[in-house]
Structure formats: structure tokens, C-alpha cells
Chain A
């Protein structure tokens, strides 16, 4: 029994050394992150194997990697997930978390390979996984794009949250509404710049019928977030009008950005400024239409009374 246990430990030690070598060969990513990834995967595979091993010897081996590199929280936003109930422990990573990390790593390769399985395969390799793990995802790169959009939206929300805190603390001035909307949309669109060559491809994939629910959901919650931080408190139909208008502004500006070749996309930002100004005027125009309508009705009533007399 002891021999079997020792053999098991040696097998795992050899497995880890091999991982370590494979990681050293890949110079692309931060070695620490990759080692941590392999450490996590080790434990995942350990749990899957469920070796009935004396816990003491297992701890012996686990303590060595822990000495060499301290556990860190993975970089990047932690995605929310429903969780696996009682199986969660500190060193257990769910499949969803792993998928998120692979996709994040894959983004680096999008400018070269596009939103494709190749990019995902390259990303997986930087984490010390085999390229075949790209098989976890669909072939058309949908998940990679949706993951990227979700990540950008989260970054935008964090940025807006931070700005709001600064205003609350008195460190910054509260922006007028049109400038707030302009800055929020610009900040969000600027996140596309590193991937701008391949973004038209992504847009067309997002419009595929099976992706529309997810992409629409992401779009609407992003627009809702922007209005929330802009201070919108409408509880009537304006809620819908404002969001529809801003969605229109965002989408048209995004399309203009695809065609823009001006330095630092200044044509796009000028287009954005004009569209936001139009949106602001829309409110005034609606009021004017209503006043005119009311005046007309009063005039007609007056005319009717006059005629009836």
C-alpha cells in the first residue's frame, strides 16, 4: 500500500515537472500565472482521479509549490457563476472559471488569428494547456467575442463606479449629461481599438440568430448601466426612450468607427458629439411638440365654442 502511494506521488511529481518544463518553453505569458494555472489544473485533475491516498503525503507535495510561488488571485474580473454547491473549496476552479481564463488569454492572439478557434488554442497554450482544449468552445468564436464584450462592459461599469465615487468624495466635478454620455460611450468604444481590424467580423458573428439573445442582453445591460450612472431616475416611458436613443447613438458610432481612418479616431468622436447633441435636443423637441399639440387643442376648443354660440 505504501509502495502504491509512493508510486502515485512520484507519478504526480513527474507530471508536475513535465508541466514545469512545458511552461518554461512558452515565453509568451507571465510564467507565474501559467504555473498557478497548472497548479490549479493539477488539483482539478487530482480531484477527478480521487486517489485514496494518505493525506499527509499529498500535503507534503503540495507544500513545495506553495513555497515557490504564493497563491494569487487570478488577474482580471472574476465572473459571477452559479457555483457548484458543496464542491467549492479554495483551490477548486470550476469549469466556467477555467473557460473564462482561457478566453481572456486568447484575446492576445485575436489581432493575428481573428475571433477563431486558433486564437483560443494559442491562448490555451499560454496557460500551459493543450491546444485541444479549444475544443471546449464552439467553432465560430462566439464565446470568445461574447466573453470579450462582457469583459469590456465590466470594465466600463468599474470605470463609471470609480468616477461616481470621485464625484461623491468631491474630488471631481459632476459632468453635464451630454458630456457624461459622450465620455462613457467613447471609453467603451476605445476598448475596441486593439481589436479594431477584426471587429467587423465579430459584429457579424454577434448578429447570428443563436447569439442574438446573449449579445442583446449584454448591450441592453451596458446601456442601462451608463444611464444609471448618468443619474437617470425615470420611472415612466422615458426609461425606454432614453435607452433606445442611447443604443442608437452607440451602435451608429460603433459602425462609424469601423470605417474611420482619422488619427486617433477623431472623426468618430466628432460624430459621437453630434449624435449626443441630437439626443439632447430630442427631449426639447418632444416638449415643443407637446406644447404645440396642447395649444392646437385649446385653439380648436375655442373655435368650437365660438361656432356653437
Chain B
């Protein structure tokens, strides 16, 4: 006879208590994948346009993305979140996208940056909304980080527009 209540079996997890684990895990995993991909995009762009006049601009944006990635690496370890299994794919796809768009010239590279940063900041915005709906106090630190990153990405978007228009 099938049991009325099925047993819940779980080994102990290690995250700070009281948080909505699945939501946080997904947020961190997706953001980590996003920053990783953005890193690879800029790497691809630098590989082609590194020595051109727009090189330093791309380099600076790339450095900021590296900081973002580092922050998410730290968060990933702290919350014991597993990285996405598609990382090798994002590795290649990001680089190809960056290099491909750069081969179209600096306008192509900037257009790519604008598009990518636009969708990233939309994505961060919806995450901020989710966290605020859940509990702004509990997730204060994470919210701060995501807000800061969203502002950085908007800045990249604006820089891209500036250089696209020139």
C-alpha cells in the first residue's frame, strides 16, 4: 500500500538560513553564466579590435565584467550553488559572438555590446523585482550587488551607444 505521507529525505545543505534556496540558486547560477558569457564576448572583441582605437574602451568594460564575474564566483561558493553545466558552451559561443561582431568593425562590436547590455540590465531588473517581492530585508546584500551591477551594465550600454553613434 502506498504511504499517505512520503518521507522527505535530504542531506543537510550549507546556505545561510531562512532564504528561499531554489530562487537564490537559480539567480546566482544564471547571473554567473551571464557574466561568464559577457567576459568571453569582450575577450572575443578584444582579440579582433584590441589594437584599434576602440581597444581601451572595450578593455575597460571587460575589466569591469571580470570584477562582476569574480563577485559571482564568491557568491557561488558562499551559497554552495552549482555552476551551469553549459559553461563550456557559453565559453565558445561568447567568444564567437564577440569576435564575429568585432569582425564587422567597431560599429558591429558596439552594436553587439549595446544589445547584450540592454538585455542583461532588463534581466537584472526582473531579478531585483523578484527579490524585492520576496523580502527586501533578507536579501539586502544580494539586492545591493545586483543593483550595482545593473547600473554598471547600463553604463556599458550607454558607452556602446556613444561609440556606435560616433
Complex contacts, B80 vs chain A, CB 8 Å: 224, 228
**Distance (Å) between the CB of A26 and the closest chain B CB?**
25
Query: In the bound complex, how far is the Cα of B93 from the Cα of A10, in angstroms?
Result: 77
Considering the complex, which residues of chain B in the window 1-59 have a beta carbon less than 8 Å from any beta carbon of chain A? 1-5, 7-14, 32
A92 at the interface (CB under 8 A from B): no
Provide the A211-223 mask, 1 if CB < 8 A to any CB of B, else 0: 0001001100110
A266 at the interface (CB under 8 A from B): no
Residue of B nearest to A225 (CB): B11
A146 at the interface (CB under 8 A from B): yes
Contact between A143 and B3, CB atoms less than 8 A apart: yes
Complex contacts, B13 vs chain A, CB 8 Å: 221
With contacts A235-B76, A237-B87, A239-B83 taken as known, whether A138 is within 8 angstroms of B11 at the C-beta atoms is no
Query: In the bound complex, how far is the Cα of B6 from the Cα of A82, in angstroms?
Result: 12
Contact between B5 and A95, CB atoms less than 8 A apart: yes
Selected contact of B7 from candidates A143, A154, A239, CB within 8 Å: A143
Complex contacts, B88 vs chain A, CB 8 Å: 237
Complex contacts, A137 vs chain B, CB 8 Å: 3
| Chain B at the A interface: SS class | loop
Query: In the bound complex, how far is the Cα of B124 from the Cα of A18, in angstroms?
Result: 64
Complex contacts, B4 vs chain A, CB 8 Å: 95, 136
Selected contact of A100 from candidates B7, B77, B82, CB within 8 Å: B7
| Chain A at the B interface: SS class | helix
Chain B interface extent, by class: 20 to 34
B127 at the interface (CB under 8 A from A): no
Query: In the bound complex, how far is the Cα of B58 from the Cα of A256, in angstroms?
Result: 56
**Distance (Å) between the CB of B17 and the closest chain A CB?**
11
Contact between B9 and A150, CB atoms less than 8 A apart: yes
Contact between B8 and A80, CB atoms less than 8 A apart: yes
**Distance (Å) between the CB of A62 and the closest chain B CB?**
27
Contact between A150 and B77, CB atoms less than 8 A apart: no
B64 at the interface (CB under 8 A from A): no
Provide the A87-125 mask, 1 if CB < 8 A to any CB of B, else 0: 000000001100110010000000000000000000000
Contact between A228 and B14, CB atoms less than 8 A apart: yes
With contacts A235-B83, A237-B87 taken as known, whether A157 is within 8 angstroms of B7 at the C-beta atoms is no
- With A96-B8, A149-B9 known, 11 other A-B pairs at CB within 8 A are A136-B3, A137-B3, A138-B3, A147-B7, A153-B11, A224-B80, A235-B32, A235-B73, A236-B83, A239-B83, A240-B83
Residues on B close to A: CB < 8 A?
Answer: 1-5, 7-14, 32, 72-73, 76-77, 80, 82-83, 85, 87-88
The 10 residue pairs across chains A and B that have the minimum distance between CB atoms:
A221-B11, A150-B9, A153-B11, A235-B73, A233-B77, A235-B76, A95-B5, A157-B12, A235-B83, A237-B87
